[in-house]
């Protein structure tokens, strides 16, 4: 089949556009804050990974501008050759200290970290064992690896052990999300580490959604459980709490050195630009300097859980600021998303294959900079839209008090 013919057969996006419910590539016309402007209208942003609210912080923006003034707009090459700047090295040292590891290595995106690390470390004599709901970048890293890939049922201790037994002594690397990005639950890392020790495997944790969210000073999932020294590799991104773009892997110095000289995703990719690196460095400093941001994030998270439960919404397995609302049908998820935007909230629909068929959901996420009033207002809008679409609740909604509180705060 020729390329054009293949593309012409894809009509789904056009069909959804004709229905007026296409939910992707919506252009935002303002800064990334608790409220944004879309189609000329101000709406509540309840679909961002900006957990600590730092993307619009004046110090972060000033650092980006200063880096451009000093280093220019780009590096014009890869880290391996001419693209390493002093600030790349500084950030790697700071991330190594932050993660309590010997060394860290920057990549241009978080996706490239997982793709580049897994494909480099998993050879024909080894295997990678992953949770079925791991991020797409982990799956793509496995596809590029020459070794065997084994999947286990989500957060299932017995299924993981069966997978490890099935390796028959082959060197294994267990790779899991620390916080799962669609339903907001946390990997049972102590159990995973115990099994890894028993079956002589290493553990790598994708902490893209855990940095700035879990653990002391937002140090991630292993710190949350107090087992940082028992996890061999920790991966993180800058595009969430660290208010930028890029990613890193942290671990033992020898492993990082091996990746520096073998990881194709690093060697053959352009280096992270100065503004991005400077933004991430500054966001990291603010996060460590202002632990109250993390506390406020969790205050807001608990408040969102409580008010959603008050209207009878089942928040599923959520244990973090990522909160799902089950819708069911894919097209219904698109319709609900559109109605919520019309009502004043930006959220994200999640459909197959990211979730099983019939499991489409609306993904909410909260920031430390949201106010309780904004959260209450969002939930009142959600309540109305769920009623409109007759979405099943776990119990009869009790919203009078919430509605009164919102109306009183906005009158």
Catalytic residues: 181, 209, 240
Q: Could you tell me if 233 and 204 are in contact, meaning their C-beta atoms sit under 8 angstroms apart?
A: yes
Strand segments (E) across 266-344:
322-328
* Short-list 53, 87, 59, 90, CA closest to 273: 87
7 to each of 1, 12, 135, how far by Cα in Å?
Answer: 10, 11, 26
Phi/psi at 284 (5° precision):
-60, -45
Residues 45-64 as b or e (16 or more Cβ within 10 Å = b):
bbbbbbbbbbbebeebbebb
91 to each of 125, 267, 331, how far by Cα in Å?
Answer: 34, 18, 43
120 to each of 106, 142, 346, how far by Cα in Å?
Answer: 15, 10, 38
Whether a cis peptide bond, with omega within 30° of 0, leads into 393 is no
257 to each of 100, 115, 203, 210, 252, how far by Cα in Å?
Answer: 17, 17, 18, 25, 9
**Burial of 8 from C-beta contacts in 10 A (0-12 / 13-18 / 19+):** exposed
Phi/psi at 330 (5° precision):
-60, -50
How many other C-beta atoms can be found within 10 angstroms of the C-beta atom of residue 224? 20
């Amino acid at each position: 089949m020729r390329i054009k013919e293949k593309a012409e057969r894809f009509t789904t996006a056009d069909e959804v556009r004709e229905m007026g419910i296409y939910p992707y590539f919506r252009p935002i016309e303002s800064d990334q804050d608790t409220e944004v402007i879309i189609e000329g209208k101000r709406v509540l942003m309840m679909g961002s990974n900006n957990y600590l609210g730092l993307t619009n912080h004046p110090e972060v923006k000033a650092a980006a501008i200063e880096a451009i003034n000093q280093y220019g707009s780009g590096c014009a090459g890869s880290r391996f050759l001419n693209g390493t700047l002093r600030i790349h090295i500084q950030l790697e040292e700071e991330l190594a200290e932050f993660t309590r590891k010997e060394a860290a290595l920057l990549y241009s995106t978080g996706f490239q970290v997982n793709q580049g690390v897994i494909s480099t470390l998993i050879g024909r004599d080894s295997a990678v064992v992953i949770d079925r709901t791991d991020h797409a970048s982990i799956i793509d890293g496995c596809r590029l690896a020459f070794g065997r890939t084994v999947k286990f049922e989500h957060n299932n201790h017995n299924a993981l052990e069966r997978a490890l037994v099935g390796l028959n002594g082959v060197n294994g690397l267990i790779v899991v999300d620390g916080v799962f990005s669609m339903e907001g639950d946390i990997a049972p890392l102590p159990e995973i580490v115990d099994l890894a020790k028993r079956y002589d495997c290493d553990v790598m944790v994708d902490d893209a959604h855990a940095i700035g969210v879990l653990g002391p000073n937002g140090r991630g999932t292993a710190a949350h459980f107090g087992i940082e020294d028992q996890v061999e590799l920790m991966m993180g991104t800058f595009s969430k709490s660290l208010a930028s773009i890029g990613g890193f892997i942290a671990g033992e110095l020898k492993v990082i050195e091996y990746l520096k000289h073998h990881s194709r995703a690093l060697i053959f990719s352009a280096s992270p630009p100065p503004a991005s690196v400077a933004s991430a460095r500054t966001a990291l400093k603010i996060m460590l300097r202002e632990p109250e941001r993390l506390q406020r994030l969790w205050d807001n998270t608990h408040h969102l859980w409580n008010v959603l439960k008050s209207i009878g919404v089942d928040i599923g397995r959520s244990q973090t600021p990522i909160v799902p609302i089950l819708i069911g049908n894919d097209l219904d998820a698109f319709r609900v998303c559109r109605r919520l935007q019309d009502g004043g909230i930006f959220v994200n629909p999640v459909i197959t294959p990211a979730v099983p068929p019939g499991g489409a959901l609306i993904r909410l996420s909260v920031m430390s900079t949201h106010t309780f009033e904004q959260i209450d207002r969002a939930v009142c809008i959600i309540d109305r839209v769920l009623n409109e679409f007759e979405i099943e609740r776990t119990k009869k909604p009790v919203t009078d008090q919430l509605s009164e509180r919102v109306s009183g705060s906005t009158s």
